[in-house]
Amino acid sequence: MSTATLSPNIPSTNPKVTVSQLNARLSQGERFQLIDVRSPQEYAEGHVPGAMNLPMDQAEARIDDLQRHDPVVLICQSGRRAGMTCELLKAHHDGLIVLEGGTKAWIDASLPVVKTASTRLPLMRQVQIGAGGMILTGTLLSLFAHPGWIGLAIFAGAGLFVAGTTGFCGMAILLEKMPWNRARS
């Protein structure tokens, strides 16, 4: 069966499968390799059962971790990073499928997830605290210390704008590398 036929009504250069289609096919015993391309922290906070974590930034270097005999379903939080990873890898592997809506759609469909996270704050909450703190600090310092401190608030606001419009968040990348966010062995 061609993987492109899993969801024919969705125009895309990448084959997609909906959560209900994937769940039904898994329930029927069809075999897929499930690859979660999110960060280890996001993966630990909740992932599709049976999914292996292969972060997007490691995907090309770990192409040999992908099976050749079963279709590979790429999963992220909403489908965007999985689509980007599919674009990166499709020259190396022809059985790639993107889970439409990602883990969020899986959870919204009330399907089970595996959680291995500790009590650490989710990465996006850390970003919100960091950016909000920078904006608040910059604004208060510009009012009470020196007007030049407004630049800190502008910098943080611009970072949030870029993250929201492009999906690239420099602060999240930095926070992900912090010792408290590293996966424990």
CB 89 within 8 A of CB 63: yes
Q: Where are the beta strands (DSSP E) in the chain?
A: 16-17, 33-36, 52-53, 72-75, 96-99
CB 52 within 8 A of CB 66: no
State the catalytic residue, choosing from 76, 97, 98, 175.
76
Q: Which tokens belong to 179?
A: 């010792």
Tell me the CA distances in angstroms from 114 to 47, 50, 92, 142, one per residue in order.
5, 9, 29, 45
Half-sphere exposure of 80 (CA within 13 A, CB side): 7
Q: Give the Cα separation of 78 and 96 in Å (integer).
A: 17
The verdict on whether 76 is a catalytic residue reads yes
Kindly list the catalytic residues. Answer: 76
